[in-house]
Amino acid sequence: MTAAVLRYAAFTDGGVGGNPAGVVLDARGLSDTEQLSLAADVGYSETAFLTPTDQVDRFALRYFSPLAEVAFCGHATIATAVALAERGGVRPLRFDTAAGEIPVSTAASADGIVATLTSARTTSRPAGPDELQAALAALRWSVNGLDFAYPPHVANAGVNHLVLAVRDRLRLRSLDYDYGALATLMSARDWTTLHLVYPETPTLFHVRDPFPPGGVVEDPATGAAAAAFGGYLRDLGLIRPPATITLLQGHDMGRPSRLVVDVPADDTRVRVTGTATEMTER
């Protein structure tokens, strides 16, 4: 069975860059095998598959990378919400995902439709010494380059991300990791991405997110990791909520992306906001 695939770039910055996502607005009748095969053909880090429910503006939403199903994907959620809003008007949406219910609001702006997702509950735990050592080896990094003002943690807002902060922006620019070693480690530890961070200010961060478990070298924008990172900052007292942080991602890949994260004081969830643009190229 075939299905129409829309292609959107999510978390664009000024209408350019962003992370490409496939979007299938009606996945009824598609088997798991067919969805995975279609995601592999599309070749983006994730393709979202939407199935209507018997409730208005509530949908089942699944995500497939070229290699496997993923429990939650932020940029594909933003892309899906914008695609729905462009076709049916801006409105609140609810997505039932493997990570739980994800509410999304949409609104019109001068830059097009903006979508804001509310994450699953965020959690964070310290990375173990063996986890850190193995990750550094795969990254070809030294522990001396880390910024321990932002301690290594495994953060979660639906899926796991290892957070590592560096003291030098150049370390992010020159990222050159061992793909096979990192893919094996991340699969064994159930890490979706590594969230590699350089803090320019306490509320502005440059980030890169390797994603080898999904068959992708790197994500240009990672909404799930942004949400997990917002929870991490709150858990460790590194921001004083309510707070808004901005993540700049994808610049070192030539696909600049901007993710805005709102961290409330009275909720274990966070909100991630971005735009999405339909792509004409294939």
- Structural domains of the chain, ranges and CATH numbers in brackets: 6-118 (3.10.310.10), 123-276 (3.10.310.10)
Rounded Cα distance, 86 and 63, in Å? 21
The reported pLDDT for the residue numbered 111 is 83
Radius of gyration in angstroms for the set of CA atoms belonging to the chain, rounded to a whole number: 18
* Phi–psi pair at 244, nearest 5 degrees: -120, 130
CB 231 within 8 A of CB 263: yes
Structure tokens at 160: 């796991």
The reported pLDDT for the residue numbered 280 is 78
pLDDT exceeds 60 at position 55: yes
What confidence tier does 229 reach under pLDDT thresholds 50, 70, 90?
very high
DSSP 174-219: T----HHHHHHHHHHHTEEEEEEEEEEETTEEEEEEEEGGGTEEEE
Rounded Cα distance, 209 and 267, in Å? 26
The reported pLDDT for the residue numbered 245 is 98
The model carries a pTM of: 0.96
Beta-bridge mates of residue 102: 95
CB 65 within 8 A of CB 39: yes
The reported pLDDT for the residue numbered 206 is 98
Nearest to 64 by CA among 42, 76, 47: 47
Nearest to 150 by CA among 207, 221, 73: 207
pLDDT exceeds 60 at position 1: no
Rounded Cα distance, 94 and 102, in Å? 6
Q: Where are the beta strands (DSSP E) in 74-233?
A: 93-97, 100-109, 112-118, 123-126, 153-156, 160-165, 191-201, 204-211, 216-219
What confidence tier does 281 reach under pLDDT thresholds 50, 70, 90?
low
pLDDT exceeds 80 at position 2: no
Structure tokens at 77: 């959620």
Average pLDDT over residues 166-184: 97
Q: Give me the percent of the chain exceeding a pLDDT of 90.
A: 96
* Phi–psi pair at 177, nearest 5 degrees: -105, 170
- Please confirm whether the linkage preceding 152 is cis (ω < 30° from 0): no
Average pLDDT over residues 206-234: 97
